[in-house]
Structure 1
Amino acid sequence: MSDAPAPVFPPLFHGLAVYGPADPFAKACTQAMLGCDAGLVVYNHGADVLRAAIVFAPEMPLSQAVSVVVACGVGFQNALGALAPPEVAVHLHWSGGILVNGASCGRLRVAASTDDPAAEPDWIVVGLELSLIPPDPEAPGASPDATGLYEEGCVEVDSVTLLEAWARHTLLWVNRMLDEGNRPLHAEWQGLVQDVGKDISLALQGETLAGTFVGTDEDFGMLLRNGEVTDLVPLTRILEQGGG
């Protein structure tokens, strides 16, 4: 919505609005490739969906730096938790999906300038897409596995305020990661991640992975057990082709 007020971001963050069909995630990746400063938040307020993306410039190998997507996910949960009624539950899929009251309501996306886990990326972009209304608002219940934020008792949650809160809470978790490592983030995320202990099937980069999701390692890689064998699926596997 072009008439929405401009969000106010925390220090070191700065906003760039895009409109209509423009994709903030793609725009943020392009800006990052052109050498924009870290902390750029590209956003697009629609009547039915909130889309935004943040540019980061980590100073560590990609295998560790990609954990920023977890910080963004926990930051989103903390932000919505502070604004929504207390009965609204937010959970996160390991691969980026966002669940509100058990139904799919959006996703996080991540791209980087490199796909080499040992290389230090020039930039990482994390995108947020959040449905504000259900896929088919004229037919409530038609898509029971998908929902919109306003359908889940969050009509009073202003999308601009939520975007501002997401940036603030994400920044807090990124700073904690830098100061304290992944342990505090891991402890918070463990209570939010979906399907631990369950049999899952996951499509990643053209490959379908299946097994029992038994947990994660210190860098949030998925531990997937099949029989007596437990495989590690690194978090870098969820990277999209947005960079070099």
Structure 2
Amino acid sequence: MSEADALAFPPLLWGEAVSTDAFDHACQRALLGCDAGLVAYRVNASVAQAALVFAPEVPLAKAMAMLPLCGVGFQNALGVMAPPEVAVHLDWDGGIRVNGAACGRFRAMASTADPAAVPDWLVIGFTLPLIPASDRPGDTPDQTSLYAEGCAEVSPHALIEAWARHSLNWINRWDEEGSRALHSEWRGLAQDMGEEITRDGLTGKFLGVDEDFGMLLRDGETTHLIPLTTVLEPAP
């Protein structure tokens, strides 16, 4: 591992540079019983990835707040490092938006899919494209990359470090203060709030989220609740 790859993380977090998918690596390490606080990360010329292992002490339904929390941590980190004209927003299901276009996403996996069970582990990770996927980016105007949005001076290694710091700060606030501050911060960053969207076969107005960040979707006279646990990827 080169000096550039040896990232510095705050207390309680520790890093592993990997050459494979960082999210998959973190999930495998969690499955084998690694300690919470592992940050697996991978940076190459085209992509930056990082994934954080949690050991929740609350049921999965509440622990899923770590998905929007890590998204807020990412926005806080990139918001400081990017030029001021760069806007970063978050999709409810983990997508990252930069200047309105999709720019990577967050993923989530846990040891259980039961919302009422306390999971042995939970992994939240992101993939961020650094350069366009093709040499014809105009063909996919709804997709973008970090460097294509005026962020060529942003170091992906420094961004991962900053994401870990900001996320840990939000974890501490969530532990000590509850979810109100996180809800407030996330609502200001949420993509498509108040808009007509389609999710899980339902089309309606995205009204907001409940206490556990479940989506409230208004369809005519009916308000549907779509739990955030529905975005979990199945554990191996």
Which residue of structure 1 aligns with residue 13 of structure 2? Answer: 13
Which residue of structure 1 aligns with residue 209 of structure 2? Answer: 216
Counterpart Cα distance in 2 of 1:23 and 1:118:
29
Sequence identity, in percent? Answer: 60
Question: Alignment partner of 1:15: what SS?
Answer: strand
Gaps of 5+ in 1: none
Give the counterpart letter for 1:85 in structure 2. Answer: P
Which residue of structure 2 aligns with residue 227 of structure 1? Answer: 220
Q: Aligned residues, how many? A: 236
Task: Report the RMSD for the aligned CA atoms in angstroms.
Answer: 1.3
Q: Give how far 1:140 is off.
A: 3.8
Aligned pairs (5 A) from 1:92-107: 92-107=90-105
Which residue of structure 2 aligns with residue 47 of structure 1? Answer: 45
Does the 8 Å contact 1:26/1:242 carry over to 2? no
Q: Does 1:67 align with 2:60?
A: no
Render the CA deviation track for 1:185-241: whole Å, top value 9, x for unaligned.
000000001111111113xxxx43322111111111100111100011111111111
Counterpart Cα distance in 2 of 1:69 and 1:242:
16
Change (3 A) 1:2 1:44: farther
Does the 8 Å contact 2:60/2:117 carry over to 1? yes
Q: Give how far 1:142 is off.
A: 2.2
Counterpart Cα distance in 2 of 1:161 and 1:186:
26
Task: State the TM-score, normalizing by the size of structure 2.
Answer: 0.97
Q: Equivalent of 1:173, from 170, 173, 179?
A: 170
Change (3 A) 1:2 1:130: farther
Does the 8 Å contact 2:109/2:232 carry over to 1? yes
Question: Alignment partner of 2:5: what SS?
Answer: coil
Q: Equivalent of 1:157, from 147, 154, 172?
A: 154
Counterpart Cα distance in 2 of 1:135 and 1:208:
29
Q: Give how far 1:46 is off.
A: 1.5
Task: State the TM-score, normalizing by the size of structure 1.
Answer: 0.94
Q: Give how far 1:154 is off.
A: 0.5
Question: Alignment partner of 1:64: what SS?
Answer: helix
Give the counterpart letter for 1:170 in structure 2. Answer: S
Q: Give how far 1:172 is off.
A: 0.5
Does the 8 Å contact 1:2/1:45 carry over to 2? no
Which residue of structure 2 aligns with residue 34 of structure 1? Answer: 32
Q: Does 1:194 align with 2:187?
A: no
Counterpart Cα distance in 2 of 1:226 and 1:5:
48
Q: Give how far 1:139 is off.
A: 2.1
Render the CA deviation track for 1:48-94: whole Å, top value 9, x for unaligned.
11011100011001110110111100000000001011110000000
Counterpart Cα distance in 1 of 2:5 and 2:36:
23
Q: Give how far 1:174 is off.
A: 0.7
Counterpart Cα distance in 1 of 2:128 and 2:4:
17
Question: Alignment partner of 1:141: what SS?
Answer: helix
Q: Does 1:242 align with 2:235?
A: yes
Which residue of structure 2 aligns with residue 145 of structure 1? Answer: 142
Which residue of structure 2 aligns with residue 116 of structure 1? Answer: 114
Does the 8 Å contact 1:42/1:52 carry over to 2? yes
Give the counterpart letter for 1:153 in structure 2. Answer: G
Does the 8 Å contact 1:107/1:130 carry over to 2? yes
Gaps of 5+ in 2: none
Counterpart Cα distance in 1 of 2:202 and 2:110:
23
Counterpart Cα distance in 2 of 1:33 and 1:5:
25
Question: Alignment partner of 1:32: what SS?
Answer: helix
